[in-house]
Amino acid sequence: MIRSHTFRRPRLALVASVVIALALVAALSTPARAGGAWVRRANMPIGEQEAGVAKLGGKIYLMGGFESFHVIQVYDPGSNSWVQAPYRLPANRWGGAAVTVNRRILLFGGGSRDFDFVGTRTTYSINPATGTVTTRHIAPIPLEQAAAVRIPGTSRVLVVGGHNQQEAGPTLTATPIYIYDTVNDTWTRKANLPVTGSLFGGTAVNVQGSIYYYGGLVDLLSGPVSRAVFRYQAGSDSWTKVGSMPRGTDVRAQGAVGLDHRIYIVGADFTSERTVNVFDPGSGTWSIGPAIPSTDGPRTVIGLRGTIYALGGSYLVQGETFVGRWNWALATTTP
């Protein structure tokens, strides 16, 4: 009995050491998990995919999309209620890039028909205070599934990517980058992304005065999907790769910035992927956020006052695709 007892103790210690070592390896190779939980809010009146989205005056504006095309839906988080704006887009739009500047919402490009994948050059300026939609100077190239973000401290907008292709494949060999000056109503070409081919469907966000762009797809049918995360310096008009995603996102795998200054990338488009990947630009590290409970892509994602909202999307039932009206909210906290 004594022999048996003294024999087992080293084996148990060895097993424990191996377990601890494996746990350390897993901890080093697996992204940490972020806290919080998604909360269901009031459903959208019209379920939507590929809508342009912007925020103004504490409200969220969804513009167009595959289901409503020219309808503008407005969500008020304070009252947890939706209304349909009495004004509409002058023409059908889906996949447009939206941003707010000087209390106006700008909507750049977008497709005009179901899955035509041929972008338009239209720039709309929406003024919710007066209920008017006006047309501004057209973009230099067709823009569909582009990304737009305001250059901090200015009235200019950085517009990244966009495409004009049908099933035959891409027609651009570089990712088009433009700055739109809202005061002078002018467009200026800027430095290309340091990638081969033309990305579209990526996301651009502002984190503490710096612009980041991630994801995107080179070819509509076959990819590849970009895993790169870039930072843009407006002063030097230059791009720097600052990281790679744990896995590539699909088209319009949108994200938004939380109070913790991290980018929350919600799932992926055209899949049932519900993982939330979180990127910390300060440390260049990744973590895993709370998985979104339901709805497949393509979702519309935006951050407002520290809460990440994931809106709409689609889902499959017995092989048939339906459009969701979900409105999920994830509150973030300061670091």
- The pLDDT profile of the chain, 335 residues, written as one tens digit per residue, is 333 322 233 333 333 333 334 333 333 333 444 558 999 999 999 998 889 999 999 999 999 998 888 999 999 999 999 999 999 999 999 989 999 999 999 999 998 876 666 788 999 999 999 999 999 999 998 888 899 999 999 999 999 987 665 444 455 677 889 999 999 999 999 998 888 777 778 899 999 999 999 988 776 655 677 888 999 999 999 999 999 988 766 555 789 999 999 999 998 766 667 889 999 999 999 999 999 988 777 789 999 999 999 999 877 777 777 888 999 999 999 88
**What residue type is 49 in one-letter code?**
Q
Angstrom distance (rounded) from CA 159 to CA 149: 7
8 Å CB contact between 149 and 99? yes
Residue 209, exposed/middle/buried by CB under 10 A (0-12, 13-18, 19+)? exposed
Angstrom distance (rounded) from CA 98 to CA 114: 19
Angstrom distance (rounded) from CA 176 to CA 200: 9
pTM for this prediction = 0.86
Angstrom distance (rounded) from CA 315 to CA 322: 5
Report angle CA 183, 188, 194 to the nearest 5 degrees. Answer: 135
230: which residues sit within 8 A by CB, 6+ positions away?
193, 194, 212, 213, 214, 239, 240, 241, 242
Dihedral sign for Cα atoms in the order 165, 301, 316, 84: negative
Dihedral sign for Cα atoms in the order 228, 97, 115, 166: negative
Strand 285-289 relative to strand 32-33, pairing: parallel
8 Å CB contact between 82 and 111? no
Dihedral sign for Cα atoms in the order 5, 6, 7, 8: positive
8 Å CB contact between 205 and 255? yes
Which pLDDT score is estimated for 2? Answer: 31
